[in-house]
Amino acid sequence: MIEESIVKRVLAEAASTGADFAEVFAEDRRSSSALLDDGRIEELSSGRDRGAGIRVVVGESTGFAHTSDLSESGLLAAAATAAAAARASGSGQRSVDLSDGTHGVSNIRIAPYEVDKARKVELLVTANEVARSTGNSITQVSARYADSRRRILVANTDGLFSSDDQVRTMFSVSAVASGDTGMQTGRESVGRTIGFELFDEYDVSELAERAAQRALTKLAARPAPSGEVPVVIGPGGGGVMFHEACGHGLEADLVAKGASVFAGRLGDKVASELVTLVDDGTMAGEWGQFTIDDEGRPAQRNVLIQDGVLVDYMWDGLRARAEGRPSSGNGRRQSYRHLPMVRMTNTYLLGGTSTPEEILENTPDGVYIAHLGGGQVNTATGDFVFGMTEAYLIEGGRITEPLREGNLIGNGPAVLAAIDAVGNDFAMGSPGTCGKDGQGVPVGDGVPTLRVLSGLTIGGTAA
């Protein structure tokens, strides 16, 4: 995107007034999407966004400027603005020697941006037809296709010069069933950091049928119970709980602010010994995978909780530099218009030795949650609430009746300590977008079947 000689001159300009650190982040993003709703194509769009952000650090002060002008004059102007914003003192030229760093290459087989739009629309039409044919009670279907290609270049005054080429493809379908109990919704989505070959791995007809069947099943759902009960969480669909309930609390920026319940607890036992929590940006093909983060550091597999003991936090470059340690590859940003911050990638709980059948058989009564929806957490206390989008009653060690949607309420550290069974059926969940301080980035999460014996409250409507 930018010649190395120009990058050198821009970094020299950014550091010319005495900066401790300067960085160029350039991005070229192309995307396309299509939406079908109520049998009609409502949206068919494509776009391109390119530009660069310049960051300058002087002591505790950070200056940042971004521009869509990737010419040398545009970049130099942004560098001068960032340097001025950092309130640098002193002056003088600084020579920057760039070494050849990590360069990610997209290994996709079928470039989605080269696939005809008619083929993408055909997938939406198929999903609509299959979902509607599943049952007469299906009254509404919507389906979305999206792909993106994001090329980035990162260079800084430490000599780093790295790049990456990230391609993501996703598909989702949502079905609404109407009956005596009102309207119920079922949803399925897939997304991976691969090309159009996604549809060699996943059949949109199967996705549509599962979404519709989920909505139809919920028509016969009974009200969810209220109160604290044993909860079994199914594989994949419950990973968002760990993302929210403890993942955010393990991000070093929140820890440094004292806004995390896990602050100052390195080396402490914070969970059941069955819990090993990992954040891994190297998981091939998963939604949160990349070669380098948005500060140019190679993606890493980071163990955060090992056998119940807190062993590390997630770090970006700026906070790692202040602590005299390496970054963990968790510096991420939504676009070139944003500063990087500590963010998760693919966060998951390692599998255990129990079978899912054993876990259920040893749970006489409780609630089985197949899928959790959106939620929120207070990282300072660990308190959280999630929506249950698919849940069932457990009676006599068996999954029985479906339950209407309700809330799942608990506390992260308390739940981690109360996990008393972990299955051997690990699975990743649906692709997600994590929001933090106004920025959204793609993330993945996953869990095996697990049981939380106490500490989780169901916010249902049953008496």
- pLDDT of 336-386, one tens digit each? 999 999 999 999 999 999 999 999 999 999 999 999 988 888 999 999 999
**Which CATH number does the domain 4-218 belong to among 3.30.470.20, 3.30.720.210, 3.40.50.1980, 3.30.2290.10?**
3.30.2290.10
Domain(s) labelled CATH 3.30.2290.10 in the chain stretch across: 4-218
Return the pLDDT at 122: 98
User: Residue 365: phi, psi to the nearest 5?
Assistant: -145, 150
- Distance from C-alpha of 459 to C-alpha of 386, rounded to nearest angstrom: 10
- Distance from C-alpha of 232 to C-alpha of 101, rounded to nearest angstrom: 45
pLDDT at 405 over 90: no
CB-based contact 422:414 (threshold 8 Å)? no
Reported as half-sphere exposure (CB side, CA atoms, 13 A), residue 441 has a value of: 27
**Mean pLDDT within 92-104:** 67
Residues 168-224 have pLDDT tens digits of: 999 999 999 999 878 999 999 999 999 999 999 999 999 999 999 999 999 999 988
The string of DSSP letters for 102-160 reads: -B-----SS-GGGS-HHHHHHHHHHHHHHHHHT-TTEEEEEEEEEEEEEEEEEEETTS-
**Mean pLDDT within 297-303:** 98
CB-based contact 176:215 (threshold 8 Å)? yes
pLDDT at 461 over 70: no
Residues 317-339 have pLDDT tens digits of: 999 998 999 999 999 999 999 99
CB-based contact 173:39 (threshold 8 Å)? no
Split at pLDDT 50, 70, 90, the class of 96 is low
Burial of residue 197, with CB atoms counted within 10 A of its CB: 0-12 exposed, 13-18 middle, 19 or more buried: middle
pTM (2 d.p.): 0.94
Integer CA distances (angstroms), 21 to 61, 144, 156, in order: 11, 42, 7
Closest CA to 389 of 241, 226, 192: 241
Element holding 53 (H helix, E strand): strand 40-58
Phi-psi region of 414 (alpha: psi -120 to 50; beta: other; left: phi over 0): alpha
Element holding 317 (H helix, E strand): helix 317-323
Return the pLDDT at 88: 59
What is the percent of the chain where pLDDT is above 70? 97
Q: At what angle do helices 117-133 and 204-218 cross, to 10 degrees?
A: 30
